Structure 1
Amino acid sequence: MTASPKYPSRRPRNLPALLYAALAGILAAGTVLAAAELAGSFFTARARPLIALGSAFIDFTPLWLKNFAVETFGTNDKAALFAGMALTIAVLAACAGILAHRRWGLGVAAVLIMGAVIVACVVTRAGASPVDAIPTVLGTAVGIGVLRGLIRRTPAAESGESGGGRPPAPLRNRPTRRGFFTAAGLTVIAGTAAAAGGRAIAAARNTTASFRAALKLPAAADPARALPAGLQSPVAGVTPWLTSNADFYRIDTALSLPEIDAETWELRIHGMVEEEVRINFAELLDSPLVERHLTLTCVSNPLGGDLAGTAKWLGLPVRELLARARPAADADMVLSTSVDGFSASTPLEVLQDDRDALLAVGMNGEPLPPVHGYPVRMVVPGLYGFVSATKWIVDMEVTRFDAQTAYWTDRGWAQKAPVKTMARVEVPASFARVPAGPVDVGGTAWSQQRGITGVEVSIDNGDWQPAVLAAEASVDTWRQWSFRTDDLSSGNHTVRARATDPQDGVQTGARADTVPDGASGWQSVQFMVE
């Protein structure tokens, strides 16, 4: 049916033109970022606007949304946040395009505001300088030119409006859809080429990978003890006891891996100390390094989560450098800072006792992978990573908890976060289907600095029964376990596990969220016997 002349359609007559204008705004915003990315490849990594904008986006993302991203997407949390940022930019850019179509001056102002926001994100990054804003300024100028060209080619609305407050052009000179989409396509091609070229140039100028590939780590002055036999649970499917570098979890705030020249890297220890200490990479490698197997755990790890791993670390005990600095008697915290501005607050006493808190340079027999902190990171057993495991570390300030705060404590997480005792059920997996009869159950438990002395299993909420513990490498590494059930009938079943440590006893069954100091409770896994 067609609309009656008496009741004409209420659809805005200029809607198609506004859609073209919105697309023009989105393409112009993409051009701003692509052109700035290309220009930024000739500057330091801090000048790259997309990463600066993404870092600021993460910093201003509400805590609940960050926690949701980590718990929902795990190690893919950054991709999810990037997607959210891209959607936000697209919506704002579309609005800028519509403004430019209606009033060109307003559209220009919107693009300039966008450029100013990106400039602010760039120059406020750790270690940035005003010069690093140049690529974004150039990209903004290019974006305005692209927006102007696309708006001029926006097909006129049905009413004859040509956009930008201009009268309709003569019929033979009016923009067409073909002309607009041709210009849009060329813009996409040019922007894609600029972004790809910028990344290629930046990669070619980055010498981190070649230096790391040629780096030969020294032998440990104090090598790791030989691992005992029987560390691995006999149950098929339980995670490997030693986590490979490729499989080791990654949770941090860096959207782009810092490009650090190890030859110029230096760590500064200062603050409430009698003597400021500086050490470079060559001096660190020449120090008496120790080698230890240590399990690290992320505070964002939910019950049964995989944000934990064990590796063999090579590094210098932090207490040795602190001994050289001689902290003041009333100091109680060390604020460690990454090259990208991330910070962690670690109790001073933890870094001075006899635990193996390391400035690590090696992981599983090779230099630290870039994603795990190359060239130097902190590794502290017994604490969650957000208060101890600073990657790409460049600064350590001896201070007090009542005088300084760190990245995550500013966002509502705990100041001190010892790792909680935890047992994880890995086999059977959730909702797995297993054949009738006895069922093999297996998993991993950890309680760094205390050790695991027992694991118990409950089937279908029945009595707790002891599991068989695998061998223990040390109190600072996780411990695997196994259990075989009696014959189980067909249907749904549930298995729970809880661990015991010699200091705090049986793992608490009280459920707690990851915020502010780590999850707690007994994991429950449902499976089906066929």
Structure 2
Amino acid sequence: MHVRVYRDGISGVLAVALALGIAELVAGLSGAVAPVIAVGDLLIDHAPGWTTHLVIDILGKKDKPALVLTVTLVTLAAGGAAGILERSRPPAGRTVLALVGIAGAITAAVDTPAASFQGTLLAAAGPLAGVFVGWQALRLLLRAGTPGPATATAEAQPMTRRVPDRRAFLGFAAATAGASAASFAVGRRISGGAVDVEAQRESVALPGTAPTPVPGAIALDGLSPLITPNPDFYRIDTTLITPRVDLKTWRLRVTGMVERPLTITFDELMAMPAREEIITLSCVSNEVGGDLVGNARWLGTSLADLLTQAGVKPGATQIVGRSVDNFTVGFPTEVAFDGRPALVAYGMNGEALPGPHGFPARLVVPGLYGYVSATKWLTEIELTTWEAFDAYWIPRGWSKRAPIKTQSRIDVPREGRTVKPGHVPVAGVAWAGNRSVSAVEVRVRRRDGDADAPWLRARLSDSLSTNAWRQWVVEWDAEPGDYVIEVRATDGRGDVQTGQAQRPDPDGATGWHRVNVRVRA
């Protein structure tokens, strides 16, 4: 009995795995979103704000892979239940499969950007086709695992019930598993190769602008570089799969409260006057001392110039950025015209934007956290009023106004390190949005006292711009003992970084970064 239940459960799991593989294949062929990704997107978009905070706190940057894995496992578990139910309570199993297919079809249709009824049908076709094929596979697997009719080898012998054909079952199971893996692999390869982002990036000839000079940096092992290399630049977004945008069909629209709505091709965007700016971006989820911050050279066209070309109507108090996957940000219109170099950027550190960072174009706005300003894979800029629209993260409990707070971080020495007595460099980076950093101070105190230890003025690297972070370093004459090292920064307006600790939500973390260090001979 137990063996049969296990076998039926395995049959259901394999059938649903095949259904997912077929759905992935159809999605790849049609350009739609695969159902697992669609369900994941749905959960991301509609999960309560507190669950988002909790998941990020627990899993950090691994939250999206964990979500995809969870959706997949739950779907496979539903398949296992369908296999068991179809044996014991038909047609309950096929009903479960049908519900899984309908749910997948609806979410895929909703999640796939489609301008036509045909596009919606194509999105729904994958899950429905997958469930149909999966149901046929389940029938075959259950039949192979079903005992045959009673037989007798001689008149004098009692009737005996034939055991299930294990060889046939294992053969069907192996074939189903192989077909599942092949369908998934081919579908993923087709969808990944539909638009070759890397080939498109290599074909982009960035405008010839004079490189922004980068003054001498502080050279020290473990210290963050002045310019963050593209592979090391943090990535935070809501998409489970990086959008692959085709330059041939990509358009940037400027809509809403403007005199002259614009539709711009990538070549037309590149033909506009270009400027390069060194700007530090920071995620609002960054904890004190965290690494969700980076500094890069951004190349693009002035957002203010683009909006001037469109003609902003009076009363337009909010700029909304919209991505190809319908993610939105929103910030005050005045930000684009207050002198800060907000950009529609297409270059990053001397090359076309990497795919994960928004290729072909994105918004870069100094002084604002990314969740209200940094639209990647940009496709629309809409002018509206402040009251008329709340961008993606606002209904989820985050503040609508989000200037970057002054922060500083200790890179050297790391938390818990043991160093030798003598001259020990203490170094890191500090940033303050678009207000520049004018000073950094470090305090070293013994763990069991020295509450009134003095603050030491750090040496700063040269300023790259008012919108960029600065490196800092202090030479500490370390003596044996256990110590706490703290850092605080002062922005260009003379405001000192607060030591009051606050979580990232709803508008950015505050507090001084501290590390514990042991000095031993």
TM-score by length of 1: 0.89
Q: After TM superposition, list the pairs within 5 Å mapping 1:398-413 onto structure 2.
A: 398-413=383-398
Q: Could you tell me which residue of structure 2 aligns to residue 495 of structure 1? A: 485
Task: Choose the corresponding residue for 1:509, options 487, 491, 499.
Answer: 499
Name the residue aligned to 2:201. Answer: 212
Contact 1:510 1:521 in 2 (8 A): yes
Alignment match of 2:84 (pick from 62, 78, 98): 98
- In structure 2, distance between residues paired with 1:154 and 1:496: 67
* Residue 371 of structure 2 corresponds to residue 382 of structure 1: no
**Alpha-carbon distance in structure 2 between the residues aligned to 1:59 and 1:101:** 37
8 Å CA contact 2:36, 2:68 repeated in 1: no
Indicate which of 326, 329, 333 corresponds to 2:314: 329
Please tell me whether the aligned partners of residues 488 and 529 of structure 1 are also in contact (alpha carbons under 8 angstroms).
Answer: yes
- Please tell me whether the aligned partners of residues 448 and 476 of structure 1 are also in contact (alpha carbons under 8 angstroms): yes
Which residue of structure 2 aligns with residue 189 of structure 1? 178
Opposite residue 5 of structure 2, the aligned amino acid is L
Secondary structure (helix, strand or coil) at the match of 1:294 reads strand
1:165 alignment counterpart: none
**Letter of the 2:135 counterpart:** I
Contact persistence 2:303–2:344 (CA under 8 A): yes
- Matching residue of 1:65: 51
For 1:166, the equivalent position in structure 2 comes to: none
Give distance in 2, aligned partners of 1:278 and 1:171.
77
Question: C-alpha distance in 2, partners of 1:478/1:63?
Answer: 30
| Cα shift at 1:238 | 0.6
- Which amino acid in structure 2 is aligned with residue 366 of structure 1? E
Asked whether the equivalents of residues 36 and 72 of structure 2 are also in contact (C-alpha less than 8 Å), the reply is no
- 1:470 and 1:76, CA in 2 relative to 1: closer, same or farther beyond 3 A? same
C-alpha distance 126-148 of structure 1, shift in aligned 2 (>3 A): closer
CA contact (8 A) 1:497 1:522 kept: yes
Q: Which amino acid aligns with 2:130?
A: G
Answer yes or no: is 1:523 the counterpart of 2:513.
yes
| 1:112 is the counterpart of 2:102 | no
Partner in structure 2 of residue 8 of structure 1: none
1:112 match: secondary structure: helix
Distance 2:33 2:424 in 1: 56
1:203 equivalent in structure 2? 192
- Aligned to 1:142, the other structure's residue is in SS state helix
State how far apart, in whole Å, the 1-side matches of 2:2 and 2:50 are: 37
Deviation larger for 113-122 or 69-78: 69-78
- Separation in 2 of the partners of 1:445 and 1:495? 15
- The CA deviation at 1:207 is 3.7
- Whether the 8 Å CA contact 1:234–1:482 is kept in 2: the answer is no
The AA in structure 1 aligned to 2:492 is: P
Aligned match of 1:26 in 13, 18, 39?
13
Q: 229, 240, 263: which one pairs with 1:278? A: 263
- Deviation of the 1:375 alpha carbon: 0.5
Alignment pair present for 1:84 and 2:73: no
The separation in 2 between residues aligned to 1:301 and 1:147, in whole angstroms, is 47
Worse-superposed segment, 435-444 or 60-69: 60-69
Instruction: Give the match for residue 154 of structure 2.
Output: none
The question of whether the paired residues in 2 share the 8 Å contact of 1:455 and 1:469 is answered with: yes
Corresponding letter in the other structure for 1:210: A
- Counterpart for residue 462 of structure 2: 471
C-alpha distance in structure 2 between counterparts of 1:417 and 1:176, whole Å: 66
Q: Determine helix, strand or coil for the equivalent of 2:126.
A: helix
- Quick one: distance in 2 between partners of 1:260 and 1:310? 25
TM-superposed CA distance for 1:22, in Å, is 2.5
Aligned 1:355-394 pairs, distance under 5 A: 355-394=340-379
Identity, in percent, stands at 38
- Quote the residue 2:286 is aligned against: 301
For 2:247 and 2:510, locate their aligned partners in 1 and report how far apart those are by CA, in whole Å: 39
Q: Please give the alpha-carbon distance, in whole angstroms, between the structure 2 residues aligned to 1:477 and 1:171.
A: 83
Question: Quick check: 1:235–1:441 contact (8 Å CA) kept in 2?
Answer: no
Match of 2:37 in 1: 51
Query: How far does residue 171 in structure 1 lie from its aligned partner after superposition?
Result: 5.3
The whole-number CA distance in structure 2 between the counterparts of 1:438 and 1:84 is 50
| 1: CA distance, partners of 2:168 / 2:515 | 59
The reply to whether residue 481 of structure 1 matches residue 472 of structure 2 is: yes
Question: Any stretches of 5+ residues in structure 1 without a counterpart?
Answer: 1-13, 161-169
User: CA shift at 1:117, angstroms?
Assistant: 1.1
1:479 CA drift (Å):
0.6
Conserved 8 A contact 1:336-1:397: yes
Pairwise CA RMSD of aligned residues?
2.0
Residue equivalent to 1:127: 113
SS at match of 2:30: coil
Q: 2:156 — aligned with what?
A: none
CA contact (8 A) 1:69 1:80 kept: no
- Equivalent residues of 2:33, 2:112 under 8 A apart: no
Letter in 2 for 1:245: N
Q: Are 1:439 and 2:424 matched, yes or no?
A: yes
SS in 1 for 2:297: strand
Letter in 1 for 2:123: D
Q: Please name the residue that 1:345 is paired with.
A: 330
Q: Does 1:41 align with 2:31?
A: no
Conserved 8 A contact 1:439-1:487: yes
Alpha-carbon distance in structure 2 between the residues aligned to 1:68 and 1:471: 39
Which residue pairs with 1:164 in the alignment?
A: none
Q: Can you list the C-alpha shifts for 1:47-91, whole angstroms capped at 9, x where unaligned?
A: 433322322232234433332333444433321222232333233
CA shift digits 1:403-435 (9 cap, x unpaired): 111111121111111100001011111111222
Letter in 2 for 1:79: P
Does residue 451 in structure 1 map to residue 433 in structure 2?
Answer: no
Q: Partners in 1 of 2:311 and 2:103 — Cα distance?
A: 43
Deviation for aligned residue 1:518: 0.9
Does the CA contact (< 8 Å) of 1:313 and 1:362 recur in 2?
yes
CA contact (8 A) 2:17 2:180 kept: yes
Question: Taking structure 1 as reference, are residues 428 and 290 closer, same or farther at Cα in structure 2, changes over 3 Å only?
Answer: same
TM-score calculated relative to the size of structure 2:
0.91
Partner Cα separation in structure 2 for residue 263 and residue 142 of structure 1: 36
- Kept in 2: contact 1:32–1:143 (CA 8 A): yes
Name the residue aligned to 2:131: 140
- Paired amino acid for 1:475: T
Task: Decide which moves more: 376-385 or 494-503.
Answer: 494-503
Please state whether the residue corresponding to 2:322 is helix, strand or coil.
strand
Structure 1 counterpart of 2:469, one-letter code: W
Partners of 1:87 and 1:528 in 2: how far apart? 45
Q: Distance in 2 between matches of 1:347 and 1:195?
A: 44
Provide the residue aligned with 2:143 in structure 1. Answer: 152
Closer, same or farther: CA 190–35 of 1 in aligned 2, 3 Å: same
**CA apart distance, 1:177:** 4.8
SS at match of 2:139: helix
Equivalent pair of 1:119/1:137 in contact (CA under 8 Å):
yes
- What one-letter code is carried by the residue in structure 2 that aligns with 1:346? F
Q: Following the alignment from structure 1 to structure 2, what is the Cα–Cα distance between the partners of residues 327 and 24?
A: 61
Shift of 1:335: 1.4
The answer for unaligned runs of 5 or more in structure 2 is 150-158, 446-450
Deviation at residue 359 of structure 1 after TM alignment: 0.6
Deviations 1:458-488 (A, max 9, x none): 1124332212112111110001101122222
